[in-house]
Amino acid sequence: MGTESHEAADWAAALTGDSAAFARVFDRHRDRVFGQALRLIRDPHDAEDATALVFLEAWRKRASVRVVDGSVIGWLLVATNHVVRNIARSTRRYRAVLERLPKPSIDDEPDFSDAVGTRIDQGARDAKVREAFSRLSEADQNVITLCVLEELTTGQASRVLGVPIGTVKSRLSRAKSRLAAHTSVLLDPSTSVTGGVK
């Protein structure tokens, strides 16, 4: 029995509430889900949280998860993009609240966390590519994740996303163009980011 056959059997069992079968699916895909989350948010703790949320959603919505070629990895990766977008939105709200708090007095001990975070995120090119990716619509992120990053075929992506193959191909072409445009704007120091690509 191949890997896909094992996974399909495990997923069928998970649909009936078999948590041990679901755990095997988790073990099989957690590293890829974590890798996709880490690729997008670069913080291991947030990526761990995202991974947990993705599998929680997979368990909660297991009856509606799409199985493609005996695997749920496509659905999990699309769910990862969605969860990361929600985490990013929550983080922006949290930072906005912090910005409204009174600034500490000069006598307060300095907080080095921002400097450390800046140094960790100094992979400037990677950070700009991540930013460019985050500017894409969720549909664009999903098709890039499935077809480019995870190298699923357009047929597999079509079944994961529930759209025709032609739609996947056209979305992929447009998403690649948009990503290239966003990336070139962010990487070109002579271009103003505020006047960037729409």
* Predicted confidence (pLDDT) per residue in 8-57, tens digit: 999 999 999 999 999 999 999 999 999 999 999 888 999 999 999 999 99
The domain that holds 142 is classified in CATH as 1.10.10.10
Asked if 93 and 36 sit in the same domain, the reply is yes
Query: Which residue segment(s) compose the domain that 19 sits in?
Result: 1-102
Q: What is the pTM (predicted TM-score) of this model?
A: 0.66
Phi-psi region for residue 17, left (φ > 0), alpha (ψ -120 to 50) or beta? left
Nearest to 144 by CA among 183, 188, 178, 182: 178
Q: What is the pLDDT of residues 115-162, one digit of tens each?
A: 555 555 556 677 778 888 888 899 999 999 999 888 899 999 999 999
Asked if 92 and 1 sit in the same domain, the reply is yes
User: Cα torsion for 24, 26, 32, 38, to the nearest 10°?
Assistant: -150
The domain that holds 12 is classified in CATH as 1.10.1740.10
For residue 71, the cross-strand partners are 68
Angle at 49 between CA 125 and CA 114, to 5 degrees: 50
